[in-house]
Structure 1
Amino acid sequence: MDKLDKLKENWQSKEHELPKVSFDRIYKMLLKKSSSIVKWIFVISIVELLFWISLYFILPEDNINMMKELGLERVMFYCEIFHFFIFGIFIILFYKNYKSIQVTDSTNVLMQNILNTRKTVRYFVYYNVGMAIAFSIAIDTYLYNNSEKLYEVMDFAKQGIPKEGFANIFIISQIIVGLIIIALLILFYWFVYGILLKKLKGNYKELKKINS
């Protein structure tokens, strides 16, 4: 039994004696826990953004040259700028949620802030997964339609890979790799943000109990 559970038990057993004091103590603890969770959401989103940016800078030069030859460099650049811009907006929203919860002095307002945070995180996850799916489909379609150029750029002939049926084999392998990456991304969001949202939901339920 943690400190919060003990406080709730004490509050329920002595509600007729010290309802105000016990209510305030439980509220402050739930406020502190909720604020900490939202802070972690904010911090993790920043770390995630830095991770994606770092991938851009450590991309092998051969990959960059390949994108240039395939005519994808400019498109990839603008897509990344757009993605990082939207990502930055979500980080700002997470920060605003964190600051809003920090200064909350009302149970109803805290409950609403928790709901807003959960909604923002869900939209954040939907956007990132949706973006990954859309990006994979767009790139795979482009490469499939330009498979002959891809075959030449990657110099598959020297590797002994036959040109016949190359496009179909390549696109199937791309789809499999894309599905694995998207599955790992979903798993990451489910594990990290899912746990934090579950804790926030628990706090919301406790606030609803003491507010009724």
Structure 2
Amino acid sequence: MDELDILKKHWKENQKFPKLTQEEIRSMIHKKSSSIVMWIFIISIIEFIILNVIGYIIPNDKGVKTNIPLVESFLDKFEYLSILTSIIFVFLFYKNYRKIKVYSSSKELMTQIIKTKKTVNYYIYINIAFILISLCFVFFSICYYEPTLLSENSKNIFVLIGVFIIITLFFIAIVWLFYKLIYGILLKKLTKNLKELEKINEDPI
């Protein structure tokens, strides 16, 4: 239970408890929202560092070639694209934090909360899309290096497709749950703050 909820509880239990002004409540919500967005920024940095450290620790075979120029070009740039995208979103999270920290009016704070929520959701969706693309290239590589799997007389292709779909859904579900657990809790708190601000605007204290 946060400070605002505690105050509301006291208001209900004791009518003599001094009520806060609209500006004081807005200030509390501002402070809480700023702290939440700061944690989103910090977590994104930690995630970026951990994933890149793991990427350097886990060995990968750079010598594997598909002999398909278009695919080779894409694979060479995909890792850098993923890193660049993460850096961009870390910057956007920082930018959101800086803006929400200095905004003062309820309208500006509400706008920035909504913008932050959208940025986090875009970040989650894009990362899931990158994972899906990676898995598709793994599937393509397996089929390329094992051409017998694509034989018209082979039933293994159906098994392979089935396994690929199951693995893909499993990984996407894990990533989705991870992001919803980490960022979802923070977004839920931001949504709560947004509703409080809307209530203040509709029913001034």
TM-score strictly above 0.5:
yes
Q: Counterpart of 1:32?
A: 31
Q: Which stretches in structure 1 are left out of the alignment for 5+ residues?
A: 150-163
Question: Matches of 1:114 and 1:207 in 2, distance apart?
Answer: 10
Instruction: Tell me the amino acid that sits aligned with residue 64 of structure 2.
Output: K
Structure 1's 77 and 54: CA in aligned 2 closer, same or farther, altered over 3 A?
Answer: farther
Q: Which structure carries more relative contact order (alpha carbon 8 Å, separation 6+)?
A: 2
Identical pairs, percent: 39
How far off its partner does 1:143 sit? 2.4
Paired residue total: 193
Q: Secondary structure at the match of 2:103?
A: coil
Equivalent positions of 1:7-22 (< 5 A) are 7-8=7-8, 22=21
Q: Which stretches in structure 2 are left out of the alignment for 5+ residues?
A: 149-153
Q: Secondary structure at the match of 1:68?
A: coil
How far off its partner does 1:27 sit? 1.1
Larger deviation, residues 198-207 vs 49-58 = 49-58
Instruction: Tell me the amino acid that sits aligned with residue 5 of structure 1.
Output: D
Question: Matches of 1:22 and 1:9 in 2, distance apart?
Answer: 16
Q: TM-score, normalised by structure 1?
A: 0.77
Q: TM-score, normalised by structure 2?
A: 0.79
How far off its partner does 1:120 sit? 0.6
Which of 171, 176, 181 is 1:191 aligned to?
181
Partner deviation per Cα, 1:9-66 (whole Å, 9 max, x = no partner): 678968xx97xx6212211111111011101111111111112211221122xx415x
Does the 8 Å CA contact 1:147/1:167 hold for their aligned counterparts? no
Does the 8 Å CA contact 2:92/2:119 hold for their aligned counterparts? yes
Q: Counterpart of 1:124?
A: 123
Question: Matches of 2:186 and 2:169 in 1, distance apart?
Answer: 25
How far off its partner does 1:142 sit? 3.3
Q: Secondary structure at the match of 2:104?
A: coil
